[in-house]
Structure 1
């Protein structure tokens, strides 16, 4: 038996897709009430197997995409496993942009599981990402028990919340000098990239979208869900500074009738944010507002006369992070609290260059992370450091769980202060 782990050739792309669950109409995610799905039914919906024409079209698109890096496992020439990394840019603490490998579309066919093929593909993707100068990998974990063994750990979260319209009253505020406008999909396609770019510059964990991100927006109806609708906000100078996508789905039961589902909303400033939500939570002939894929720290809650009116109905981890090059990753972000810390990593089997003791000297504008022979202040697992990287996790909780061992009195506190960020990290879309 001959096993190869390598990128598929162009003529092998159809076989590559057939090794992926979604291409075969098989489950490709834990069926659940997902926090990024606004509807009442479990996500994901059933899929049908891809046709030969679809496979051909996918291959034609992916082969031309320089950001798409597929990997596959072949046993005696047959493709039995597949995955891919997509080169992204992600906003890291301090508003800087870091390079990141987004691991996606992963699967091993049922007859060849438990043979180490996924680990081999992951190892190959890590090594290729390091060669491309990407010190960080991220993914959305389709099953929570799989990816921790490769060093990944949750770094961002998403929530789905509901708000009854009769409870939704905004606190008084200064008059909005701008204006709201309902627009069509063609206009929304022009607005989204501009608004998202402005938001992304200040949101830790947000991704730079790949070309064509909003090309699929449409005014056509989507079954009983009805058409997607688009609401924009312009400031007093006429510049668009906020946009929301929402729909008013039909329901066969009264339990979910009159629901307005917000599928996406971004605003470049608090005025636009408040104005968009102000209309959506008081839309005529609706009973409730549902918003999915929202940040843990949604500011709208604090604009309501009754903060309890916003009820989180689903919450889940979103992106899992994995540091591939610890010193480079730590030096590409900035730190709100300056300081020094010496830490040891000893458990990284897949990226062994990360093992050792490191001296991190952090500042708001300049930081260094170099090997040292000095005594460490703490020992930390690669997965814990990856979770803490974007500043949204608790160092004390990870220490309590055994992922961090302190060797000095205030080492955990120093780690928490240095890596902390004010707003929770969040990314508004996956890959």
Structure 2
């Protein structure tokens, strides 16, 4: 805790999930004191820590059983933080939490209309959105660096879910620009009730760790760790990826394949715009391939794979990582998803320059993370007792094995080259896409 106190609030914000979990072992009260002191100095930190503590109250996925170790501490610390606020901080706190509860509550209201048609649910969202008053200074939990100045009242959109009622809405956010002058932008976010977002928070935190490692050594690979904030038991807000579309939606828009989409969007294969987009695709495919293998991202159907306006591939929805797979069935037995249409964009074969660059970047990215393995382990370890479903046993040992830590660097490079070969046009990937088509209506 002394070490953490020496860093800026930007660093401590990043580690809020770990700080909250460390309360489990806080026999001397050091973590509690750090939380209270930091909350008095920075209201935004206090808000984020309270949201995270609310999200960790329960032991079970049904949000019935209070965590016997953490639960009582979280209630008492939340109470102490609230009592420590001065009048200005208390007003800000009440204003912010009231605003966000109103917005999130729309998802709860929608649950009573789960079997209604999309247009009917859209009307309900519009009705509830019209009631919300935007007070000065409020912000989205996932965007604490900007304030909400307005809501696009007709932007509400119900999202597909069998049992829950997530919805998407768009907000006008004001932030300080690089020159210090205020600038406004639109930010869409997804709100969920009855859906645990804490695993997504952890996955994106680890993606951010990998990104920082690669940035530090100057390795030019690309990932986009968008923002997710767990705000209560089974509640959360998720930033929508800007300027992007899922592979499934591309298919529904009658695009025959990924290569055809690249050509229609970026021009012919010989054009500079196509080459730039292909290079962006290669850099992002390398980054996400390594992370998908190490963190064991599953449920990689085409609704969870996105492409942006620059050609990057992006991954979303991390409900199945580390030790768990959808339905307990190991359809996705390959290290990561590498399909025939992805190979075509890379150049069409293992001998193409694009594929060779992808292979080289993937191996370099893997070797870089091996050198910083302890950083990743130290981020994961405090979360092992968090009751997250992704931790089922030998999580750390299995991660060490995937890192090939006992191997030399040359052996590790060969190890990763073999993983790429296994993923190349795997029949398992094709089988899982077919399974999603039949069971969840995700045809593309």
Larger RCO of the pair (alpha carbons < 8 Å, separation 6+): 1
TM category (shorter chain) comes to under 0.3
Q: Which has the higher helix share?
A: 2
Q: Which has the higher strand share?
A: 1
Q: Given the two structures, how large is their TM-score scaled by the length of structure 1? A: 0.25
